[in-house]
Structures are given as structure tokens and as C-alpha cells.
């Protein structure tokens, strides 16, 4: 069964595109989720913080510090301190991400390194940047940039590499970076003495699939990819010794065959029985049952707005960031993995991601 919903309010930060990055949002905003009712509300005691192009957020593992991508060219990342009263303040100036248009980031489990996925641009390839963090969690030095190579068959999207996500495997042994442009997942080892990356594998995925994000099942033996360009969901077996993926099964991301659809966010349930995927175009969240290494569609639920991009698990709910309609919705997770609307969506201009605290 999914993890039961808590009765305690959950603190949430949202990230949005700002006017300088083509959106209407403020950057960071503080919200609360009431798990019993599924109601979302703004935290009236925490004012919004202007962070340019805040398209993805991540927390430090031991400090009250949150990191945001600044999806600009050249790209930067912001560190934000979260105080005991919830107030947010910048922790120094934005730091160089090592590339163009950073769209994802993660903090190493030891708390000493911040890794960024730089999507790139028409003239700049995708890359992964490494930044050293000081004792306060402030990015102080860009120690390495691993540049991706490759392309794919989809015109207008795959002329070059486009890193879209960077994450650690569950054991913390390998760094994995999805590349939508190269149809690949690049595997690295991070030297935590020097902050440098050593490439150990390039996992070639299905041509034209455009892998966007990965999500591991508990235990780390299976990993699932949201394939943006082929509108599919793929199950892969993961080898923790080598950091390599073997593709096992692929299913359509949506049953709506009459729309152009691009999967966005992906989440595996804490119990490991279900995987959920946002569908931008169909404007749904699709639920799938994991049986061994097969994927069984359970159904689709409206995402509470248009162009559902970010997807976050929070206390028995999925938080759906609907970019084009500017709404954040909470969907309740039922025992069979299906989803149900919890209540009205909350207005959140140009919202693209959410982070539970």
C-alpha cells in the first residue's frame, strides 16, 4: 500500500519561471499542504523570494538550505537559507552552473557537493557541473564540468546533447545524467576529494525516445524513465556495480492518442508498487502498476490544469505543477495506486516544480 497520509501540515516550496525567463511567477513561494483534506494554501508568514527561472529545487541533506536552478544562459544556481520561522533569504550570490540553462540539480549525500544538469542551448552542449559547498551550504567553487556528446533523430530537439537530470543512484555510488538530445544516460563517479567526475559508462537508450527524468524503485534494482519525445514510460534493470541500465519494457505514457504528448515528471511510490507520470498535452497524471518488470496501466487522472510538468510525492498525495495554467494541484493516492482530486487547484503563476520540506 502507499504510505498513509500524515495528519500534520506539510511545508512545500514551489519554483516558477519569472518574467526574465518568459514566465509570470515570483521564483520561490512557501505553501502548506493539509494531508487530511488535500487543501493547499500559501504560508502567509513567509513572503515569496525572487529567484530567476527557478525550474527545479533540491534540499541540503543536513542543513536548512535549498538550492534552485536559474534557467538562464549562462546558467547559475541559487542557494537559499530557510530560517526557523520559515523565512527565506539568499545565501550569497548565484553561482556559475558550468553551462547554459540548468534545469535540474541534486546535492551529494555527504553534503559537500552540488551537481547541476545544464540543458544547453543551440550553441552550447548539455553538461553536468560540480560545485563545492562550504560548511554553511554555500556554493563556493565550480570544480568540474562534464560535457555531453551525441544527437538523435528528432528534428528540432536532438541536434545536440541536452542534459535534463542529474541524480545519485540509491547506493550513492554513481552519478547518472539523462540526456534528452543524445538518447542516453551518462554514468559517472564523483571523486569527493577533488570534485571531479570520471565517466564510466554511456547507456544508449531507444533512438528518438528523449529520456527526460529517471526514478528508482525502492532497492534500486529497477529504474524508470519518462521518455519525453516518444511519449513512453520505460522500465530498466539497473546494475549498481557498473551504473549501467538494461531496458526491459516500454508502454505508452497516455491513452490519449489524438494529442501531441510529452511526459514530464515521474515518481515511484514509496512502497515500490506504482509509478506515476505527468502528461503534458493530455494534461493528465498516469498511474501504472509495477508487477515484476512489467508495467500495467491503471488509469489517468486530470492533473488540475494545463501542461502538468513537475510531480512530487507528499504525505499520501501527488503535487502537480501545471505550468501553462499556473496551478498547483494535490491528487490523493488511493490504495490501488489510482489517483483522485483532493480539492481545487491553487493559483501559482508559471509554477513548474515543488519541493517538500
Each residue of 83-92: pLDDT tens digit?
Answer: 999 999 999 9
Angle at 355 between CA 28 and CA 163, to 5 degrees: 90
| Residue 134 backbone phi and psi in degrees, to 5 | -85, -175
In this structure, what is the dihedral angle of CA atoms 307, 161, 132, 106, given to the nearest 10 degrees?
30
Query: Do residues 25 and 17 touch, judged by C-beta distance below 8 A?
Result: yes
pLDDT of 54 higher than 60? yes
- Length, in residues, of the chain: 357
What residues does each domain of the chain span?
8-46+305-357, 47-304
Query: Do residues 214 and 178 touch, judged by C-beta distance below 8 A?
Result: yes
| Mean pLDDT score, 294-307 | 98
Choose among 195, 17, 203: nearest CA to 98.
195
What pLDDT digit, counting tens, does each position of 8-38 carry? 999 999 999 999 999 999 999 999 999 999 9
What pLDDT digit, counting tens, does each position of 200-224 carry? 999 999 999 999 999 999 999 999 9
Report the mean per-residue pLDDT for the chain. Answer: 97
DSSP 129-163: EEEEE-TTS-EEEEEEEEE-----SSTTT-SS--E
Residue 5's pLDDT is what?
52
| Mean pLDDT score, 46-56 | 97
In the chain, DSSP finds a helix count (H) and a strand count (E) of 0, 31
Cell representation of residue 100: 547554459
How far apart CA 86 and CA 331 sit, in angstroms, is: 25
pLDDT of 1 higher than 50? no
Query: Do residues 65 and 77 touch, judged by C-beta distance below 8 A?
Result: no
pLDDT of 6 higher than 70? no
How far is Cα of residue 104 from the mean position of the Cα atoms in its chain?
6
What pLDDT digit, counting tens, does each position of 103-150 carry? 999 999 999 999 999 999 999 999 999 999 999 999 999 999 999 999
Residue 223's pLDDT is what?
98
% of the chain at pLDDT higher than 70: 98
| Mean pLDDT score, 303-327 | 98
Cell representation of residue 102: 540548468
Angle at 179 between CA 174 and CA 185, to 5 degrees: 35
- CA 222 → CA 156, 179, 209, 273, distances in Å? 31, 19, 18, 12
pLDDT of 303 higher than 50? yes
How far apart CA 336 and CA 345 sit, in angstroms, is: 23
| Residue 19 backbone phi and psi in degrees, to 5 | -55, -35
pLDDT of 339 higher than 50? yes
pLDDT of 228 higher than 90? yes
Residue 124's pLDDT is what?
96
| Mean pLDDT score, 177-198 | 98
Residue 7's pLDDT is what?
74
pLDDT of 2 higher than 60? no
CB atoms within 10 A of CB 149: 14
pLDDT of 156 higher than 90? yes
DSSP state of 93: S
% of the chain at pLDDT higher than 90: 97
| Mean pLDDT score, 87-100 | 98
Look up the CATH architecture of domain 47-304. 7 Propeller (2.130)
How far apart CA 338 and CA 345 sit, in angstroms, is: 18
Residue 257's pLDDT is what?
86
Amino acid at each position: 500500500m502507499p504510505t498513509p497520509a500524515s495528519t500534520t501540515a506539510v511545508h512545500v516550496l514551489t519554483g516558477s519561471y519569472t518574467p526574465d525567463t518568459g514566465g509570470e511567477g515570483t521564483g520561490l513561494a512557501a505553501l502548506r499542504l493539509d494531508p487530511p483534506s488535500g487543501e493547499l494554501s500559501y504560508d502567509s508568514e513567509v513572503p515569496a523570494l525572487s529567484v530567476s527561472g527557478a525550474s527545479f529545487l533540491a534540499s541540503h541533506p543536513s542543513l536548512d538550505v535549498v538550492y534552485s536552478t536559474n534557467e538562464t544562459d549562462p546558467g547559475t544556481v541559487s542557494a537559499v537559507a530557510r530560517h526557523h520561522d520559515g523565512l527565506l533569504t539568499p545565501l550569497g550570490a548565484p553561482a556559475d552552473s558550468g553551462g547554459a540553462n540548468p534545469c535540474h540539480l541534486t546535492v551529494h549525500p555527504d553534503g559537500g557537493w552540488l551537481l547541476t544538469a545544464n540543458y544547453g542551448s543551440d550553441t552550447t552542449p548539455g553538461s553536468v557541473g560540480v560545485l563545492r559547498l562550504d560548511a554553511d551550504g554555500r556554493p563556493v567553487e565550480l570544480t568540474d564540468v562534464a560535457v555531453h556528446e551525441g544527437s538523435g533523430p528528432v528534428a528540432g530537439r536532438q541536434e545536440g546533447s541536452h542534459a535534463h537530470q542529474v541524480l545519485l543512484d540509491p547506493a550513492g555510488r554513481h552519478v547518472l545524467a539523462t540526456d534528452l538530445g543524445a538518447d542516453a544516460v551518462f554514468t559517472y563517479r564523483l571523486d569527493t576529494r577533488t570534485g571531479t567526475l570520471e565517466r564510466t559508462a554511456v547507456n544508449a537508450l531507444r533512438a528518438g525516445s528523449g529520456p527526460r527524468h529517471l526514478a528508482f524503485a525502492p532497492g534500486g534494482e529497477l529504474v524508470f524513465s519518462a521518455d519525453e519525445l516518444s511519449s513512453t514510460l520505460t522500465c530498466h534493470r539497473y546494475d549498481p556495480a557498473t551504473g549501467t541500465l538494461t531496458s526491459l519494457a516500454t508502454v505508452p505514457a497516455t491513452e490519449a492518442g489524438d494529442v501531441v504528448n510529452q511526459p514530464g515528471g515521474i515518481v515511484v511510490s514509496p512502497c515500490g508498487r506504482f509509478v506515476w507520470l505527468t502528461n503534458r498535452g493530455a494534461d493528465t497524471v498516469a498511474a501504472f502498476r509495477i508487477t515484476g518488470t512489467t508495467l500495467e496501466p491503471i488509469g489517468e487522472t486530470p492533473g488540475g490544469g494545463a501542461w502538468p510538468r513537475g510531480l512530487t510525492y507528499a504525505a499520501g498525495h501527488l503535487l502537480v505543477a501545471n505550468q501553462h495554467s499556473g496551478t498547483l494541484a494535490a491528487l490523493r493516492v488511493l490504495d490501488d495506486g489510482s489517483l483522485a482530486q483532493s480539492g481545487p487547484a491553487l493559483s501559482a503563476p508559471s509554477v513548474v516544480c515543488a519541493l517538500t520540506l
